[in-house]
Amino acid sequence: MGSAPQDKVCVVTGGGTGIGAEIARLFAAQRYRVVVSGRRLQPLDQIAAEIGGLAVTSDVSDEDQVRALFAVCEKTYGRLDVLVNNAAVRGPVMAIDQMDVAGWDEAISINVTGVALCIKHAVPLLKRHGGSIINISSVSGLRGKATRSPYSASKFAVNGLTQAVAFEVGSDGIRVNAICPGGVTGERFVTSQALRAKVLGTTAEALIRTQYEEPSALKRLLEPGEVAQATLFLASDAAAAITGELLVVDCGRIS
């Protein structure tokens, strides 16, 4: 990764909202040329216009669309330096004996297969100059939670994929790491906790307080921008010797 920052290119999947949007903004502020990808064009266009980036619609569970995403990146910029696999779905929030199998399949298809497909088609570009792959995983991929089995299973898989691929591509100058955030402020998190609370017979406010805020050293939730900062660190030369790692970013939550 010896090029000047303004020459570097970053692809962010799930880049239209939330954590992905904050990652796109931060990398653009660091003079990366950013490709934001997702399934809905409107939020992608908004972020791309804001940061001077490129919006490309793509469903990461569809290999033809993933192939097209990286073809557009190559045609437009001629290179790739950083891939951030952020696209994911919540999956069903329910007890395992009530499991919606279609919802399970979607979670695995997007959260796991989608990450693998993006890595598959990014690696040939990354091999040209070296680079970094950062998978946005979750603390749920380190310790499961009741009612979240599809999501937890998918994130455990992402963590294993991260470590396996790191050994495959390290000799090509490509580093592969994952970030495991805890609870991140925003509508998506609140909605997930409301669904969990309904199954568990409590309230979203109580779950957030007792399972996220009170057990954490900092007594609060994460901000999306804090996950973005960790992503930028792993992409940077400051992390040149870090690969195959699962970086927990969760305000010091101990349970």
Residues of the chain with pLDDT under 50: 1-2
Question: 169 to each of 77, 138, 244, how far by Cα in Å?
Answer: 22, 23, 11
Whole-angstrom distance, CA of residue 217 vs CA of residue 15: 29
pLDDT at 50: 98
* Residues 6 or more apart in contact with residue 3 via CB below 8 angstroms: 79, 81, 129
Please report the pLDDT score of residue 190 as a whole number: 87
Q: How far apart are CA 239 and CA 112, in angstroms?
A: 25
Closest CA to 192 of 92, 119, 109, 78: 92
> What is the pLDDT, as a whole number, of residue 253?
87
Q: What angle do CA 229, 232, 235 make, to 5 degrees?
A: 155
Name the residues annotated as catalytic. 151
Q: Which CATH class is domain 5-183+223-249?
A: alpha beta
Query: Which amino acid is located at 114 in the chain?
Result: G
Q: pLDDT digits over 145-161, tens only?
A: 889 999 999 999 999 99
Q: Identify the pLDDT of residue 255.
A: 55
* CATH 3.40.50.720 placement within the chain: 5-183+223-249
Per-residue confidence (pLDDT) for residue 127, from 0 to 100: 98
pTM of the model: 0.93
| 210-255 confidence digits (pLDDT tens) | 989 999 999 999 999 999 999 999 999 999 999 999 999 999 986 5
pLDDT at 83: 99
> What are the residues facing 179 on neighbouring strands?
136, 247
The CA distance from 124 to 122, in Å, is 6
Please report the pLDDT score of residue 145 as a whole number: 86
**pLDDT score recorded for residue 254:** 67
So what's the pLDDT on residue 2?
A: 43
Strand, helix or coil at 53? coil
Supply 134's token pair.
């950062």
Q: Please, what sign has the CA dihedral across residues 96, 102, 107, 112?
A: positive
Q: Which pLDDT score, from 0 to 100, does residue 1 have?
A: 39
Q: Phi and psi for 209 in degrees, rounded to 5? A: -65, -50
